[in-house]
Structure 1
Amino acid sequence: MTSSNPLPTAPPRRPALVRWWRAWWRNLTPLRQERLALLAPLVAVFVFLAAIVAAFAYLQIEESEREQETLQRDVEYAQQRVRLRLLERQEQLMRLARELVQQELAPADFENRAEALVNQYPELQAVTWIDAQGRIRASHAAPTLPSSQQRSPGERIALDAPSWTQARRQVVYAQPLAMPGEAPPLLQLLVPIVRGRQFGGVVLGEFSNDSLLRYGMPPRVLARYAVTLLDGDRQLLAGSPMANNTSHANFLPWKQQRASEYAIQVSPVGRGLVLRAQTYRTSLGMVGSGLFWLVGVLSGMTTWLLVATWRHTRRRLQMQEALVAEANFRRAMENSIATGMRALDLEGRITYVNAAFCQMTGWSAEELVGLKAPFPYWPEEEKDLLREKLREEFSGQNSSGGYKMRVKRKNGTLFDARLYVSPLIDAHGQQTGWMTSMTDITEPTRIREQLAAAHERFTIVLEALDAAVSVAPLGSEELLFANKLYRQWFGAQADGHLQLVAQAGKLPVSYQPTGGMDEEDGLMGLPTDTLTNALPDHAEIFLPELGKWLEVRSRYLSWVDGRLAQMVIATDITQRRQAEEQASRQAARAQSVSRLVTMGEMASSLAHELNQPLTAISNYCNGTLTRIDNGQLSEDMLRTALQKTAHQAQRAGQIIHHIRAFVKKSEPQFVQADVSTMVQEAIELAGIELRRHNVRLTHHVAARLPPVLADAILIEQVLINLMKNGAEAIQQAQRPPAARTVELRVLPRSIEAGEVIEFTVQDSGKGLPPEMRERLFEAFYSTKQEGMGIGLNLCRSIVEAHQGRLQADNIYNGTEIVGCRFSFWLPVAKPAGIASNSVANVPSTRTLA
């Protein structure tokens, strides 16, 4: 008979969470396990206390929400009661207004009806009939109303203007503002009296806010809440608010909480009247219950016992923690330090190297510890020298600044290092060896060499500049830097720097701080007079001892030692100034040549113009001689002949005088010139050329024009050139006699730059083609066969030298060009005190080129 053994069953497998928890607990150190075991009961106590507090808080919140809902319902019910009461009074006043519209009430009857309403309804304090002019026709007020608020017939009442205007169309509620020291304001109801479309006044009903609150509110609401009436600005009108709007909190007896309140606007008054209710708190409810205090005291005692036990255990483990912390600190310090550390015993054997030393040399600690000189990280060619250095270290002759050496890595590469050696002293004060620290200085050495090379390049560039550069500190005669050209001009002293600054005047501040974002004002410490009186960004001066013109620029900078210094750059501009002066002289010659060319082109017309007075003089003289020979000349006839002869001679002299003044070579004279005089002299000269081309000239000059700051001859030259060009354009267009006109207009204008005088010359020629408009003002560009191409270019230069602007536009009739318009403007001369400065700032003649 055989027996069967039962198969062994596997133990039940624990859940994954339990397995994870057991593995995590075993991985913890004993110290952490003990801390967590002590922390668990403390956490359980705090969780229990938090649950009790949360339950109390939840119950209190539920109670507060129910109380707030009850308050809201009661206030809305009270608001409906007040609203209905106001609507009833409004309906009665509207009925009274309709009777006034139908002219059924006399003032006496109105007062009787008003008295009945006031006596019947205590909140209604006064009823007043006001006509369209704001005068009181009839009024009745309650005896309790102060005399200052009572109305008298015939008196003009002052109502709020917006309310009075709105009352012409509809019923209006108004709440006047409370004035200090006066009786509380009354709520006003204005009911309009309208006959057809004509406004006949209003019926004014005035309500007492206190009475409206007392008689319009339900007694139940007044008993449970502190009810008040407020205006639109939340100012108290009636009622007594709670003096101390706080009560005990819901679950902390020592904390206070604001009482519940609810406010709602009283319709139809709108934003002018607000009803507010505040709850009275008479008990603490669950907040002050003994259960809360009992749970709190027990939780505190349990917490105190757990903390005491934890402190007792921690005292027992303090020594162990201190030892572990010290060991960890030393290990971390050794592993994180970037300086290589090496310890030698008194025999020169390596006893310790840190991780940084091994990382620098590439040799491990096991390979280095126990070795004696020569060490494997010494280069072969320097072993004798390094052995001598090591002998000096052992004899105590090492330098405090260390010494530089080359170190060979395990892979054969070399790097520069600096070694510092000091005696190694134990806890008993005995020397047990030598401690060496090694620092890799390969990168600092490379950077130092790059800086030296950059400084050398920078110095070469500054020395080769064609400008004198100098730097000196403010308030000192020390010269911090000077390049080669400065030393050639002024020597190695700061006198030249100070001379340039003094002669150039106060140069502008262009200081740029070199610090970070957290520094103070970058301009702090700069001289205040330089900041406030800064002139343009450069100055041009002449040094007689050098015989040169220099352009001087300056800026402030912070020197390497932190001092505020000033850098001055002086550039030789003698050749440029000479070129500018030569260009100025050539521009003056160009102006004279242009005027001579203009007179040359007008020579035939001038000859014809001068021939007329000369012929008349000859005829008058011949006629006089003939009459003398015939004996027919009387004294009156002789006087008449001589007067006409003198007039013709004066006319010829004026023509010659204008021509000489126009072509005379002179420097520009910017003075206050009369516009009408300039225009008249230009018309007299240009009219000769226009008559030769059979062109009619019309001009209009506005009356009482202010003077302009200009050179009259130059402006006359511009006007003559423009009118002459207009006549020639008409001649080329071959316009019929009726269409051969040139118009000159001079009018004042206002632009962004200020008040100006605008000169406009308009002709009836063919206008300017597009290709000509682009090159119109170019020098030596002309469309005339005999033209020089300097006329319009010179005109624009003259106008711009007078701070003005010249432009040209075509005149269109639909799509057809019917003429051209040249216009320019000159600024009006400023008053005498300002004009002198303006003259000084006008560009010289060289700017005309």
Structure 2
Amino acid sequence: MPQFPISPTADAAASPASMALWRRWWRRQSPSRQDRFIALGPLFSVILFLAAVIAAFGYLRIEEIDREQQAVTRDVEYAQQRLRLRLLERQEQLMRIGRDVSNSQIDTEEFIVQAEALVNQNPELMAISWIDSKRRIKASYVSSSANAIGPRTVGEQLTVGETDGTYELARDLRQPVYSRPLIAQDTRRYNAASLQLQVPLDDQGKFAGVIMGEYSVDGLLRFGIPTEITAKYAVALVDDKEVVLAGNLPPPRKGAAKLLPWAEGAAKYEIPVSPVGNGLLIRAEGYRASQGLVGSGFFWLVSALSALTVWMLLGNWRHTRRRVQAQEALLTETHFRRAMENSMLTGMRALDLQGRITYVNPAFCQMTGLTEAELVGCTAPFPHWPESELDIMQARLNDELRGRTPPGGFEIRVKRKNGNIFDARMYVSPLIDPHGHQTGWMTSMTDITEPKRIREELTASYERFTTVLEGLDAAVSVAPLGSEELLFANKLYRSWFGGQVSGHVNLIAQAGVPAFAPTGDALDAVDDMAGFPTDSLTGAQTANAEIFVPELAKWLEVRSRYLNWVDGRLAQMVIATDITPRRHAEEQAAQQNERAQNASRLITMGEMASSVAHELNQPLTAINNYCNGMVSRIKANQISNDDLLVALEKTAKQAWRAGQIIQRIRAFVKRSEPNRTSADVATLVSNAMELAEIELRRHHVRLTHYIAARLPDLMVDRILIEQVLINLMKNAAESIAQSHRPTAQRHVELQVVPKQIDGQGVVEFSVLDSGRGLSPEVMERLFEAFYSTKAEGMGIGLKLCRSIVESHHGRLEAVNLYNGDEVAGCRFTFWIPVTPLISPAVSATNTIAAEAAGPQ
């Protein structure tokens, strides 16, 4: 590839071009940025110099640490080899003794002699013991200087804890096994750590025990590690849990030594002791007699000089930056104030002490329609003063110059350039110069034409609202929760209860609506909001109740609602309406209803009069016959006392039967107060059937019934329910008579069974007849008052029956029975709940209906 030489003229041309670019870039920078760049140059220089010094010291220290680490690694491995050879040599000697014991070449005495010689020759050995296969000591020799173990007694059995499982391992492997380092429980003993070597004994292939040699870990360190290594390093034997068993290590560095980047800890190295394994480690750490004071002092001197230089540069740069920031803040503040004055809707006008205008802002010019040139320099009278109020405006100006304006400002009328007049409010404050002297007055002016109009409209609206509330025929009051303050009360409330909040509270209490949260310490354990609606209070539905106020002798309908008052407090509004005339009308209606029910019962009994007379004729005839027979037989002396007693008992029974018929009729017709008691359904139905059966026999109608077993008792007025059943059975008999059914088809069935309706247990009463049923027209108007399909009927029987059932929270219905497409009869059904839920408001209505059910 050809080489093209670079022309020197090209380099010379490129250099001025780059310099020109640099100059243009520098000139485009702002003075503050140029100062910042100039200040950053020396700062970067000092930082780079300090970084170079730190890097040089760090590199030298890393090299030194690497050399020290290599040296300590080499020496520790050498010490580990020396200690390994010493342990293997002792292991071979113990194995030789074990072979002599296994071959029965030595006895216990000879064993003790050889063990004593071996222990005395090797100071690290503390004891040698001969242990049989049952873990009993047959012979043992313990060095007199051994403090880590106690005496070994012949015949003593070693525990598992004393061998740490090494005995079992030697028995299973049939090889020499080293134990983990053992530490005596008595910490007062010196050199308490020990190490066991157990050599298994073999007796013709059977395990015969072990030869156990016990080493002192401290002796292994002192006699197994070369002295030249212990002189250079802090050497220690540790276990796998970092517990120092022998020797010592230098404490970790603290304090300022950790801050030196080169003053790291001395080199250290550790390696497992073979053949013991990882349970025993040899660890060595180099001594450091000096922390490099010369190098450290030089480093700190350079660092201090560099820090001082950086501090001086930063201080200079900070001073320059503050000066620039003060200039920028001054410009920003000036621009901000001018922008604020130009954008605000409040007019600003400055006057000197002589009353001459010295300054106006754009808002003031916009309000008056005059320019700044037309206003600045003017004296009174000003062009924006109305001609008709010059005297008033001059008086205002004089007060302003004398400082006698009210703090809340004052209202004036201002004329625009086009002649329009508007209302304004002016506020005055003195102008103070930097030396604390007053130089004039600053006036702010606000156009209040629209707010004044709105205020007047609100005042008129409030007057209309108050007039409406004062004219209501209901008492309206508002009170906050948790307070005894009355926020509002209209005229009718004040006329009833005065201006006290007690009337409001009493209305709420009688209506059963929670009013105020309890206060004081007596109810600390009670929920303050108990009884309030679970949804949002202001969104809860209005609570209604009808109460009687004895103080006013009036019935009031009370409606309450929670609302947020204008000041944000949660309040309760109560509206009480006088319903006394309505209650009187309801009472009169109840009395009319009572008379109608009484007339219905009298009519029913009138229709049943002939049948009742026939029923009474039977017992009366029987009584007459019994009496005549007894008189005849007594006159003829043909009757004994026993026969006379039997005849008298029969006569009394017939008289009792006649009396019962009359009592039932009298109880049915007699007017009584409503009395809801627990009634047995079977007894109630039986009484009704006994009264109605008279009418059914008159129409030649057969009555059958089915009453379910174990029916629950009902809380009812027995007479009213009996009246309903009698009317339904009587109507069924009349319907059958009007349909001209044959005798075999003239029957009425009464059924009483328990049921579940809408999840509530009820007792259902059904009356089924075999008449001609009900037409659609009759079905629509069946329960309508004064409607009847009978020529002599009054049309109040079924209406009263339905009222009685509904007063017991039940329901009365009627349906036709079909045999194919042909109407085969009609069924009237009503049910009474087993446990009626009676609310206070409905209870009063039901009581009135029940009272109206009794005849006069």
After superposition, residues 741-780 of structure 1 pair within 5 angstroms as 741-780=747-786
CA distance in 2: counterparts of 1:681 and 1:838, whole angstroms:
33
TM-score by length of 2: 0.56
One-letter identity of the residue aligned with 2:693: G
CA distance in 2: counterparts of 1:420 and 1:638, whole angstroms:
124
1:661 to 660, 664, 667: 667
Superposition deviation, residue 794 in structure 1: 0.7
2:387 is aligned to 380
Superposition deviation, residue 785 in structure 1: 1.2
CA contact (8 A) 1:507 1:553 kept: no
Superposition deviation, residue 680 in structure 1: 0.9
CA contact (8 A) 1:702 1:747 kept: yes
CA contact (8 A) 2:763 2:832 kept: yes
1:238 is aligned to none
CA contact (8 A) 2:508 2:515 kept: no
2:813 is aligned to 807
CA pair 828-526 structure 1, distance change in 2 beyond 3 A:
closer
Superposition deviation, residue 466 in structure 1: 2.4
The secondary structure found in structure 2 opposite 1:650 is helix
After superposition, residues 99-248 of structure 1 pair within 5 angstroms as none
CA distance in 2: counterparts of 1:396 and 1:565, whole angstroms:
46
Superposition deviation, residue 720 in structure 1: 0.6
Superposition deviation, residue 761 in structure 1: 0.5
CA distance in 2: counterparts of 1:335 and 1:778, whole angstroms:
82
Superposition deviation, residue 617 in structure 1: 4.2
1:682 to 683, 688, 691: 688
CA contact (8 A) 1:509 1:556 kept: no
The secondary structure found in structure 1 opposite 2:543 is coil
Q: Are 2:845 and 1:845 equivalent residues in the alignment?
A: no
Q: How many residues align?
A: 545
The 10-residue stretch of structure 1 (491-500 or 379-388) with the greater mean CA deviation from structure 2: 491-500
1:704 is aligned to 710
Superposition deviation, residue 493 in structure 1: 3.9
2:172 is aligned to none
The secondary structure found in structure 2 opposite 1:786 is coil
- Alignment deviations for residues 153-173 of structure 1 (CA, whole Å, 9 cap, x no partner): xxxxxxxxxxxxxxxxxxxxx
Q: Are 2:829 and 1:826 equivalent residues in the alignment?
A: no
Superposition deviation, residue 688 in structure 1: 1.2
Superposition deviation, residue 797 in structure 1: 1.0
1:794 to 783, 797, 800: 800
2:456 is aligned to 449
The 10-residue stretch of structure 1 (601-610 or 696-705) with the greater mean CA deviation from structure 2: 601-610
1:325 to 315, 328, 332: 332
- Alignment deviations for residues 32-55 of structure 1 (CA, whole Å, 9 cap, x no partner): 9999x99xxxxxxxxxxxxxxxxx
CA distance in 2: counterparts of 1:313 and 1:835, whole angstroms:
89
Superposition deviation, residue 828 in structure 1: 2.2
One-letter identity of the residue aligned with 2:385: W
Q: Are 2:423 and 1:420 equivalent residues in the alignment?
A: no
CA pair 657-430 structure 1, distance change in 2 beyond 3 A:
closer
Q: Are 2:604 and 1:601 equivalent residues in the alignment?
A: no
Superposition deviation, residue 335 in structure 1: 1.6
The 10-residue stretch of structure 1 (537-546 or 728-737) with the greater mean CA deviation from structure 2: 537-546
TM-score by length of 1: 0.56
CA distance in 2: counterparts of 1:739 and 1:542, whole angstroms:
57
CA distance in 1: counterparts of 2:616 and 2:720, whole angstroms:
24
Larger Rg: 2
1:403 to 397, 410, 414: 410
Superposition deviation, residue 586 in structure 1: 3.1
2:790 to 784, 789, 793: 784
2:401 to 390, 394, 398: 394
CA pair 324-845 structure 1, distance change in 2 beyond 3 A:
closer
CA pair 30-358 structure 1, distance change in 2 beyond 3 A:
farther
Q: Unaligned regions of 5+ residues in structure 2, if any? A: 1-23, 38-309, 518-525
% of aligned pairs identical?
Answer: 65
CA contact (8 A) 2:346 2:444 kept: yes
Superposition deviation, residue 656 in structure 1: 1.7
Superposition deviation, residue 490 in structure 1: 3.2
CA contact (8 A) 2:542 2:561 kept: no
- Alignment deviations for residues 298-327 of structure 1 (CA, whole Å, 9 cap, x no partner): xxxxxx9xxx9x999989975764454344
CA contact (8 A) 2:423 2:448 kept: yes
CA distance in 2: counterparts of 1:374 and 1:847, whole angstroms:
90
1:161 is aligned to none
Superposition deviation, residue 696 in structure 1: 1.3
The 10-residue stretch of structure 1 (582-591 or 839-848) with the greater mean CA deviation from structure 2: 839-848
CA contact (8 A) 1:509 1:555 kept: no
One-letter identity of the residue aligned with 2:349: R
CA distance in 1: counterparts of 2:839 and 2:410, whole angstroms:
74
One-letter identity of the residue aligned with 1:754: Q
1:366 is aligned to 373
Superposition deviation, residue 842 in structure 1: 8.9
- Alignment deviations for residues 216-274 of structure 1 (CA, whole Å, 9 cap, x no partner): xxxxxxxxxxxxxxxxxxxxxxxxxxxxxxxxxxxxxxxxxxxxxxxxxxxxxxxxxxx
CA pair 355-721 structure 1, distance change in 2 beyond 3 A:
same
- Alignment deviations for residues 531-556 of structure 1 (CA, whole Å, 9 cap, x no partner): 49999934544444433333445555
After superposition, residues 624-663 of structure 1 pair within 5 angstroms as 645-663=651-669
CA pair 691-480 structure 1, distance change in 2 beyond 3 A:
same
CA pair 444-385 structure 1, distance change in 2 beyond 3 A:
same
Superposition deviation, residue 825 in structure 1: 1.1
CA pair 491-526 structure 1, distance change in 2 beyond 3 A:
farther
Superposition deviation, residue 756 in structure 1: 1.5
CA contact (8 A) 1:794 1:848 kept: no
CA distance in 2: counterparts of 1:393 and 1:601, whole angstroms:
105
2:730 is aligned to 724
One-letter identity of the residue aligned with 1:488: S
Superposition deviation, residue 352 in structure 1: 2.2
CA distance in 1: counterparts of 2:630 and 2:396, whole angstroms:
133
2:447 is aligned to 440
CA distance in 1: counterparts of 2:839 and 2:506, whole angstroms:
29
1:587 to 587, 593, 607: 593
- Alignment deviations for residues 569-604 of structure 1 (CA, whole Å, 9 cap, x no partner): 443333233333333333333332221111112223
CA pair 673-405 structure 1, distance change in 2 beyond 3 A:
same
One-letter identity of the residue aligned with 1:827: P
CA contact (8 A) 1:797 1:848 kept: no
1:573 to 550, 574, 579: 579
- Alignment deviations for residues 706-743 of structure 1 (CA, whole Å, 9 cap, x no partner): 21111111111000111111111112222222221111
CA contact (8 A) 1:810 1:819 kept: yes
CA contact (8 A) 1:342 1:354 kept: yes
2:348 to 322, 341, 349: 341
